[in-house]
C-alpha cells in the first residue's frame, strides 16, 4: 500500500475452507490482479468465516498457507497490497460484535447464502453461519473501503454491508465509508462442471470443479467429462444451454477471445473441439501460476513472515476505524 499517493481502497476476502477452484481464480483472484495498480488493496484470508462450517484443524492451517501462496502466485504483491489473515487482526471480531447490534434478524434471515448453507449443513446451523454477513461487513468497513470485488454470489452481502454502514452513520455520522461492490459481468459466476445450473463450489464433488492445483491431465479429464447437452450446437445461452455456455465463458476468459468469435470459429465442430480448446486454455492460464505457487510453498518462512508483517499493517488501519466507532458509541476510553 503506497504511503505517498493515497488511492481508493479495495478490500476482498477468500475463505481457506477447501480447494481453491477455477471459479475463485477467475471470479476473484484474477480480477484482483487486474485492479491492484489502481487501488490501495487489502486481500484477506478470511479464516474466521471458514469456522462457520466444521474444519479439520490441520487442513485449515495448511489451506491458510496455501491461500497466501496463491494470492502471491496470482501476481499480487505483498509489499504493496496487504495480504493477511483475518484472525491475526482482532479488530475484525471486535467490530463484528458492534455491527451485530446494528443488524436485524429479519435482514440476516433473508440472506440466500445462509439459507443454502443451512440446508447443506442441517446438523450444524450455528449462530456464526447466521451472522456471517455481519463479520463480512466488519471486514469491509474497518478499512474505509471504497470498492469490494467479488463474485455475483456475494452481491446480497455487499448490499447488507452498505445498509449497516448507512444505518450506523445515520446515528453516529462519519464513522464508515459506504462501499461499492464490483462484480465483473463475464466472470461473475463460473458454474459446476457436473451440474451447470449450480455455481462451482469448494464444498462440492471433486469432478464438479477444476481445483487450482489440478495437473494438466486432471484438468483435461474433468473438462472432457463436463455436462453439456444432447444437441451439438455451440451457442451461448445460459438458460437453455448452461453447460455449453459455461465452457464458452471459461474459454473466453482464459484465451481473451470474445464468445461470439469462438462460436463462429467452432461452428459445426461439435462439443469435443470446444472441450479440447477450453481444457488447453485453462492449462495454459494456470501453468505459470501453479509453478510460482509450488515454489512459494517451499518457502514457508517467507510466507509466515509476510503474513506477520502484513497483519501489523492491517491492524494499524483497522484500529483507527474501531477506535472512532468505540468513541462515537460512548464506550469509555481512558
Q: To the nearest whole angstrom, how small is the minimum distance from the Cβ of residue 13 to ligand ATP?
A: 7
Determine, following the binding rule CB under 6 A, whether residue 154 of this chain makes contact with ligand ATP. yes
CA 190-107-9 angle, to 5 degrees, is 60
Cell 491431465 belongs to which residue? 217
320, 97 Cβ separation under 8 angstroms: no
Which residue among 160, 190, 247, 279 contacts ligand ATP (CB under 6 A)? 190
Residue 20 beta carbon to ligand ATP: minimum distance, rounded to whole angstroms = 7
Asked whether position 201 contacts ligand LTN by CB under 6 A, the answer is no
Is residue 203 involved in binding ligand ATP (CB under 6 A)?
Answer: yes
Q: Of residues 21, 49, 189, 241, which one binds ligand LTN by CB under 6 A?
A: 49
Q: What residues have CB less than 8 Å from 199, skipping those under 6 apart?
A: 23, 151, 153, 189, 190, 191, 192
104 contacts: CB under 8 Å, gap ≥ 6:
none
CA distance 25 to 165: 29
Helix axes of 91-100 and 127-141: crossing angle, nearest 10 degrees: 110
33 assigned to active site: no
Q: Does 42 bind ligand ATP (CB under 6 A)?
A: no
Termini Cα distance of the chain: 31
247 lines the binding site for ligand ATP (CB under 6 A): no
Site string for ligand LTN, 29-48 (x = CB under 6 A): -----------------x--
Q: Which helix (H) or strand (E) holds 40?
A: strand 40-45
What is the distance of C-alpha 230 from the center of its chain?
33
Q: Does the footprint of ligand LTN cover residue 181 (CB under 6 A)?
A: no
Q: Is 300 a catalytic residue?
A: no
How many residues sit in the footprint of ligand LTN (CB under 6 A)? 13
Give the C-alpha separation, 82 to 87, whole Å.
14
Q: Contact positions toward ligand LTN, by CB under 6 A?
A: 11-13, 15, 46, 49, 136, 139-140, 148, 150, 154, 157
Catalytic residue numbers, as ranges? 117, 199, 202
Q: Contact positions toward ligand ATP, by CB under 6 A?
A: 14-15, 17, 23-24, 27-28, 150-151, 153-154, 189-190, 199-203
Amino acid at each position: 500500500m503506497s504511503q505517498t499517493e493515497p488511492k481508493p481502497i479495495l478490500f476482498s476476502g477468500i475463505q481457506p475452507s477447501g480447494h481453491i477452484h477455477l471459479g475463485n481464480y477467475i471470479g476473484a483472484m484474477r480480477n484482483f490482479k487486474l485492479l491492484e495498480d489502481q487501488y490501495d488493496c487489502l486481500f484477506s484470508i478470511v479464516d474466521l468465516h471458514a469456522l462457520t462450517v466444521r474444519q479439520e484443524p490441520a487442513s485449515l492451517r495448511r489451506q491458510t498457507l496455501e491461500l497466501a501462496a496463491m494470492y502471491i502466485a496470482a501476481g499480487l504483491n505483498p509489499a504493496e497490497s496487504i495480504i493477511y489473515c483475518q484472525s491475526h487482526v482482532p479488530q475484525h471480531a471486535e467490530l463484528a460484535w458492534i455491527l451485530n447490534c446494528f443488524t436485524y434478524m429479519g435482514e440476516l434471515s433473508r440472506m440466500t447464502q445462509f439459507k443454502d448453507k443451512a440446508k447443506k449443513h442441517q446438523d450444524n446451523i450455528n449462530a456464526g453461519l447466521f451472522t456471517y454477513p455481519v463479520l463480512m461487513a466488519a471486514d469491509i468497513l474497518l478499512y474505509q473501503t471504497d470498492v469490494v470485488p467479488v463474485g455475483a454470489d456475494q452481491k446480497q452481502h455487499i448490499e447488507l454491508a452498505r445498509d449497516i454502514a448507512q444505518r450506523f452513520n445515520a446515528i453516529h455520522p462519519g464513522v464508515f465509508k459506504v462501499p461499492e461492490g464490483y462484480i465483473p459481468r463475464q466472470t461473475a459466476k463460473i458454474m459446476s462442471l457436473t451440474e451447470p445450473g449450480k455455481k462451482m463450489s469448494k464444498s462440492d464433488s471433486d469432478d464438479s470443479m477444476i481445483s487450482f492445483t489440478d495437473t494438466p491431465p486432471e484438468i483435461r479429464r474433468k473438462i472432457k467429462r463436463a455436462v453439456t447437452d444432447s444437441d451439438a450446437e455451440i451457442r451461448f445461452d445460459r438458460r437453455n444451454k448452461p453447460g455449453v455456455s459455461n465452457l464458452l465463458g471459461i474459454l473466453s476468459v482464459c484465451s481473451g477471445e470474445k464468445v461470439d468469435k469462438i462460436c463462429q470459429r467452432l461452428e459445426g465442430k461439435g462439443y469435443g473441439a470446444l472441450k479440447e480448446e477450453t481444457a488447453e486454455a485453462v492449462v495454459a492460464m494456470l501453468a505459470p501460476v501453479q509453478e510460482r505457487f509450488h515454489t512459494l510453498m517451499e518457502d514457508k518462512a517467507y510466507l509466515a513472515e509476510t503474513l506477520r508483517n502484513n497483519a501489523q499493517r492491517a491492524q494499524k488501519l483497522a484500529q483507527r476505524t474501531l477506535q472512532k466507532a468505540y468513541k462515537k458509541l460512548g464506550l469509555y476510553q481512558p
